[in-house]
Amino acid sequence: MDLPVVELEPYLEARGSQPLPENVRNSCLEVAKCLREAGALVLRDPRCTPEDNDRFLNMMERYFGMADEFKRQQERRHLHYQVGVTPEGVEVPRCALDKDLQARMEKIPDSEKPRMPVGADPKWRYMWRVGPRPANTRFKEFNADPVVPEGFPDWIEVMDGWGRKMIAAVEIVAEMAAIGFGLPPDAFTSLMSQGPHLLAPTGSDLSKFTEEGSVFAGYHYDLNFLTIHGRSRFPGLNIWLKQGQKLLVRVPPGCLLVQAGKELEWLTGGECSAGMHEVIVTKETIAAAEAAEQAGRSLWRVSSTVFGHIASDAILEPLGHFASAQAAKNYPATLAGDYVESELAAIRLKTA
C-alpha cells in the first residue's frame, strides 16, 4: 500500500476562490481523509523543489559528518536541546518510557509490531527555529536564539530557506484539511501564527549501524501539530495507520511527507490520531547504504524534518463540530506551551 500523492498546485492557484473548483474541493476532502484514516499523506508542492532538498541534505550530511567534538560546540543542554545540536544517545523514545504505549505495542500482531529500542536513540538532531516568534511569551525556551556552527557560510540561508518553504507547505495542508473537515480555512493556520516551528533534521550514521533492525528512532508520535519531511536518501521510516497496519513509507521524487501530530489530535477531539512511527535499518536501507558507499557518497541518513507547531500561547481545544462533552473531557482546553512542556518533562528527567 502507498499513500496517495496530493498535488498542492491546483489549490494554490484557486486559493481564496468562492466556491472552490470541484477538483480542488475534492483534494481538500482527500487531505482530511488521509489525516483521519492514515495520519499521514504525501504531497507535491511546486515551491519545494528537489534542488532545494538536495542542497539542504548536502549541507547536513557534511555537518553530521564532522567530528563529535565540533558538533558538541552547538549543544545547548540548558535549553533542553530546543536549539542547536542534540547528540546521539540523548533522545529517549516514548515507547521506552510510556507504560500505556508499551501495552498498546503488545497488542500489535508480530508481523506489524514495532522494534523495541534498547536505551536512547542513536541519532543526532539539529534544532533550528523557523519563522517569526512572539515578542512576549511565557515559553521563552521554545523561542531561544538560533545556533550557527562555524565553517558553514550558507547555513542561515539554507536552513531558513528550506524551513520556510516546508512551513509554507504545512500551512497549505492545514488550510486544505480545515476545508475538508468543514471548518473555516484559517481554523488551524490562525493558531499556527508565530508558533515555535522547528527545522529539526536527524543524522544517523549508517557506517556504524549496519545491522538490519537497528533502531534510529523508536516507536513514537510527534507532540506538535503537523510534521513534514523532505525525501530522505535512505529508506527506513515505518508508520502505523489508524487501523494498526504498518507501512514502509516510500516518498516519490519531488514529494514531501506530512504526518499528524498530537496537537492536531487535540484540535480535532481525537478524530485524527497522532501518527505512530519509527525509523529503523531495513533491507532497503542496507542496499541504499551499499550503493552510496560504492559511489563514494555520504553514509549519513539525514531526515529533513520540520515540526509545525501551534503557537505556545494559543489554546488547544477541540474546534467547531469536533467540540463535544466527551471531546472536552478527553482533550480539555490548555495552552499549547503547557502541553508541550508536560510532554517533554519525562524525557528531560531521563537526560538530566
Residue 23 located in a structural domain: yes
Residue 31 located in a structural domain: yes
Helix axis angle, 50-64 to 155-180, nearest 10° = 130
Distances (CA, A) of 123 to 235, 298, 300, 339: 15, 15, 10, 25
Residue linked to cell 492536531? 264
Convert the pLDDT of each residue in 123-176 to its tens digit. Answer: 999 999 998 888 788 776 666 778 999 999 999 999 999 999 999 999 999 999
SS3 51: helix
Listed in sequence order, the DSSP H helices in the chain are 9-14, 22-37, 50-64, 68-71, 99-106, 155-180, 189-192, 262-267, 283-295, 325-330, 336-351
Q: What is the mean pLDDT of residues 182-190?
A: 97
Question: Does 2 score more than 90 pLDDT?
Answer: no
Question: Does 351 score more than 50 pLDDT?
Answer: no
Sign of CA dihedral 235, 126, 157, 129: positive
Residue 240 located in a structural domain: yes
Least confident stretch, 55-59, 190-194, 339-343:
339-343
Q: How far apart are CA 224 and CA 29, in angstroms?
A: 22
Question: Does 352 score more than 60 pLDDT?
Answer: no
Q: How far apart are CA 42 and CA 30, in angstroms?
A: 11
Q: How far apart are CA 16 and CA 18, in angstroms?
A: 6
pTM of the model: 0.92
Residue 154 located in a structural domain: yes
Residue 111 located in a structural domain: yes
pLDDT at 141: 61
pLDDT at 227: 96
Distances (CA, A) of 307 to 119, 195, 295: 24, 10, 32
| CA angle centred on 60, ends 227 and 297, rounded to 5° | 120
pLDDT at 147: 94
Residue 114 located in a structural domain: yes
Q: Which of 133, 189, 192, 126 is nearest to 159 (CA)?
A: 126
pLDDT at 312: 92
Question: Does 55 score more than 60 pLDDT?
Answer: yes
pLDDT at 350: 46
The domain total for the chain is 1
Q: How far apart are CA 179 and CA 31, in angstroms?
A: 9
CATH number at residue 281: 2.60.120.330
In angstroms and rounded to an integer, the radius of gyration of the C-alpha atoms of the chain is 19
Convert the pLDDT of each residue in 265-297 to its tens digit. Answer: 999 999 999 988 999 999 999 999 999 999 999
Residue 259 located in a structural domain: yes
The three-state (H, E, C) secondary structure of 106-155, written as one string: HCCCCCCCCCCCCCCCCCEEEEEECCCCCCCCCCHHHHCCCCCCCCCCCH
Convert the pLDDT of each residue in 68-119 to its tens digit. Answer: 999 999 999 888 788 999 999 988 887 887 888 888 888 888 888 898 887 8
Least confident stretch, 79-88, 179-188, 257-266:
79-88
| CA angle centred on 282, ends 93 and 254, rounded to 5° | 90
Beta-carbon contacts of residue 337 (< 8 Å; ≥ 6 apart): 137, 138, 139, 142, 312, 313
Mean pLDDT of the chain: 91
Give me the phi and psi of 58, to 5 degrees please: -60, -45
Residue 352 located in a structural domain: no
- Domain containing 112: what range? 5-347
